[in-house]
Amino acid sequence: MKVFGLLPYVDESEIKRATGTFDPAFIKTLAQCYDALGYERVLIAQSASSPDSMTVAASVMAWTNQLKLMIAHRPGFIAPTMAARMLATIDQMSGGRCGVHIITATNDAETRGDGDFLTKDQRYARSREYVELLRRTWASTEPFDHDGDAYRVEGAKTMIRPYDESIPIFWGGSSGLGIAYGGECADVYAFAGTTLERSAALITQVRAAAEPFGRKPRFLMSIRVVIAPDDAAAWPRADAIVADIRSQGGTSKKGLGSGSDGSAARRIAEAMAARSTADPCLWGGVIEATGGTSHAMALVGGPDQLVETLRAYEAIGVDDVLLRGFDNLADAEAVGRLLIPRLG
């Protein structure tokens, strides 16, 4: 099981308010921490208001030696043939370390900030066609034409190809179309951490959707961690995180891709039902404390408990995990020292 990290654009979290919105020095420090501690990849996020993920990825590639990239990218604003060349350029310059996470976005209101007024279902259909064109651009040795629902090109060609034939496509989305197209398109299907039972059911659905296309995607689960030297210290730390959030009046700022008020309500309901005898260290306290604006379903425990729990997810089909704490640098170092050597 490989461990991925998340690279925020500034040192902030539910318990830490940042003074600015973009901090290149912090990005470099955290990226180099991930690189030194053996993280497999780093997710560079994207939203309708965030810095450009491609540009940041190019800098991260230059700052690191082995760390691979998972560049969040939203179809609809750059032609897929051009995006294919941009990604292939980063892949060549990094020696094959590029990966792209196709983001369809759950929040209609947010996408309109970038002039995208398509519905969620329409965006999913566009993303599917976009992935088709990315792969065709990377693979074609002769100019090609395409006349689809969202894109039309004539004589498309490229001077640059990926370092090793193609670039991994990450895909997320748990709606009907998200799963259907994920099964068709994904090299890696990414999903937010939830109970073992729900995770197993989702993996089964995606595998069934992928089977007709002869695909066998890997599965990446993203989940937060509250890590401490042992279980006895971890739960008081979790309580302190909630107390800190509440002392600040909760978190009103929505995270990247937070979705609608309806999705926030669903997260709260899931958080309240999360802990059970089947999932003893699964914790949704931060989701409740932030009114569902945070995606922070978490695992709480010392290294032994966390490794045991992550192995249970691995047993149901989770191949890799994206782990993030609540103190960006300190928790990244703790995961690197205490978990990665035991999970690899």
Quote the pLDDT of residue 137.
98
Q: How far apart are CA 183 and CA 64, in angstroms?
A: 32
Q: Amino acid letter at 123?
A: R
Which among 7, 106, 16 has a CA at the least distance from the CA of 286?
16
CA distances to 95, 187, 221 from 215, in Å: 26, 8, 19
Radius of gyration of the chain (CA): 20
Quote the pLDDT of residue 255.
46
Tokens of 323: 């782990």
65 CB-near residues (< 8 Å, 6+ apart): 35
- Please tell me the chain's helix, strand, coil percentages from 3-state DSSP, rounded to the nearest 5: 45, 20, 40
Assess contact for 74 and 66: CB atoms under 8 A: no
Residue-range domains of the chain with CATH: 2-343 (3.20.20.30)
For residue 77, give the DSSP letter: S
Quote the pLDDT of residue 47.
87
* 3 state SS of 249: coil
Which among 55, 73, 74 has a CA at the least distance from the CA of 9?
55
Q: How far apart are CA 310 and CA 8, in angstroms?
A: 24
Which among 32, 51, 41, 42 has a CA at the least distance from the CA of 6?
42
Q: How far apart are CA 246 and CA 198, in angstroms?
A: 29
Farthest-apart Cα atoms in the chain, separation: 63
Quote the pLDDT of residue 101.
98
Q: Amino acid letter at 205?
A: Q
Tokens of 137: 């651009």
**Contacts made by residues 72-75, CB under 8 angstroms, sequence distance 24+:** 72/43, 72/44, 72/45, 72/46, 72/101, 72/103, 73/46, 73/100, 73/101, 73/102, 73/103, 74/46, 74/103, 74/104, 74/105, 74/111, 74/114, 75/102, 75/104, 75/123, 75/126, 75/127, 75/130
pTM listed for this prediction = 0.93
Burial class (CB in 10 A: 0-12, 13-18, 19+), 338: middle
**Centroid of chain to Cα 57:** 14
Ordered per-residue pLDDT tens for the chain, 344 residues:
999 999 999 999 999 988 899 999 999 999 999 999 999 999 999 988 899 999 999 999 999 999 999 999 999 999 999 999 999 999 999 999 999 999 997 778 888 888 888 899 999 999 999 999 999 999 999 999 999 999 999 999 999 999 999 999 999 998 999 999 999 999 999 999 999 999 999 999 999 999 999 999 999 999 999 999 999 999 999 999 999 999 988 754 444 444 445 667 877 887 777 767 789 999 999 998 988 888 889 999 999 999 999 999 999 999 999 999 999 999 999 999 999 999 98
Quote the pLDDT of residue 110.
82
Residue 55: how many CB atoms within 10 A of its CB? 10
Q: Amino acid letter at 223?
A: I
Assess contact for 240 and 209: CB atoms under 8 A: no
Burial class (CB in 10 A: 0-12, 13-18, 19+), 261: exposed
Task: Give me the sign of the Cα torsion angle 175, 177, 179, 181.
Answer: negative
